[in-house]
Amino acid sequence: MPQTLAVPGPGFIATRLDTPTGILFGKLMCFFTKGKINPLIRAAGISAYPMAAMFVQSEGRKYDDKNWLLMHAMGASTGGQIGPVMAAAIMLSVLKGMGIG
């Protein structure tokens, strides 16, 4: 039983912490860039493509009707999809080079 939970357990924790930590990091970036980066953009980097970007757009518009975040959010969301795929491909090629894969 513990071996079975060793795989989905950390994944469950990671999915629960992804958006809150992303927003906190976005707020940190907003602080250091003196407001040039909208903290909501970081929330679009989660794996709910393209729903996360549409959520960012709708939340941003609630506070400012002139806030058009959709294209920026789609870029962050696309990067959130491409990054893990590239990391997995690199990891698999390294493992294959080591004779493990």
> Could you list the pLDDT tens digit for every one of the 101 residues in the chain?
677 777 788 778 877 887 778 778 888 888 999 988 777 777 777 666 778 888 888 888 888 888 888 888 888 888 878 888 898 899 889 988 888 86
Distances (CA, A) of 52 to 33, 45, 77, 92: 23, 7, 7, 28
Q: Where are the domains of the chain?
A: 2-97
The DSSP annotation for 27-52 comes to: HHHHHHTTTSS-THHHHTTSSSTTHH
